[in-house]
Amino acid sequence: MSTFVPGIIVQQLSQKVALVIGGSRGIGGAITSRLVADGASVCFTYVGRDAAAVALSQELDPSNGSFALRLDAADPTAAETAVDAVIQRFGRLDILVISAGKAIGGSIGDYSRESFDEVFSLNVRSPFLAVNAAAKVMADNGRIIVIGSIMAARTPGDGSTLYAASKAALVGLTRGLARDLGSRGITSNLVQPGPIDTERNPADGPNVPELHGYLAIKRHGTPVEVAGLVAYLVSDAAAFVTGSVYNIDGGFSA
């Protein structure tokens, strides 16, 4: 996280290398931009929307070698491919952020077996495989951040069983990783956003009045605000923070 002093910006992630899975737009795109602004060299992955990935790449500081990598995070081989690309380019990996995810809503009796596989392959298997690959090469005192959802803690409406279940699994993953990797100084934390103004959940959507009724702060959050929390968790200031779940939800879970 950058330290702001009048006229001076200290980039606390200078010399650090980050991989952001699902980092081209929305929350992931804001995280990519923040990590680069804080001095990190970043590889961000994306599965589609090539124009968005190109646009983000053009906004990033080219001097630190940051680059985009097109792959499908749900593919079982994607994690190893991404980690290998980072090591080949930079020779190290210090930060892993996993932001890719998918939601399929519906009544419990209407879900198909394929729906379960589709959601869990991206929301649960993909993060597991990413940390499995990253842990083999990550530098000591590294950082792992998984982006979950506040729906793992509170589901006030119908139709979210499958999505909520997949995001709840990330709590166990995060805490297990904290134990497994703590001896190396590697931290693992879960960030659970509430309503964030993205293409998937716009601040001017049709259900906004009802949704804001659940909040203590009556507005959507922003991707930049989520990125600010992530920036803290990957900084040296958070070296003793691990196995924790951070809700950034405007009081949705209060």
With a CB cutoff of 8 Å and minimum separation 6, the contacts of 252 are 150, 154, 194, 195, 214, 215, 216
Which residue of the set 46, 163, 214, 246 is catalytic?
A: 163
Give the strand pairing for 17-21 and 8-10.
Answer: unpaired
Q: Give catalytic status of residue 163 as yes or no.
A: yes
pLDDT tens digits, one per residue of 2-28 = 444 444 455 789 999 999 999 999 999
pLDDT score, position 10: 56
- Rounded to whole angstroms, the Cα distance separating 47 from 22 reads 8
pLDDT tens digits, one per residue of 53-110 = 988 988 887 778 899 999 999 999 999 999 999 999 999 999 999 998 888 888 888 8
Q: Which CATH superfamily hosts domain 10-248?
A: NAD(P)-binding Rossmann-like Domain (3.40.50.720)
Q: Which pTM was predicted?
A: 0.92
β-strand partners of 55: none
- Rounded to whole angstroms, the Cα distance separating 164 from 71 reads 25
Angle in degrees, CA 233, 30, 21, rounded to 5: 75
Tokens of 181: 């990797």
Give the sign of the dihedral formed by CA 223, CA 26, CA 199, CA 21.
negative
Residue 155 confidence (pLDDT) above 80: yes
Give the sign of the dihedral formed by CA 212, CA 223, CA 52, CA 133.
negative
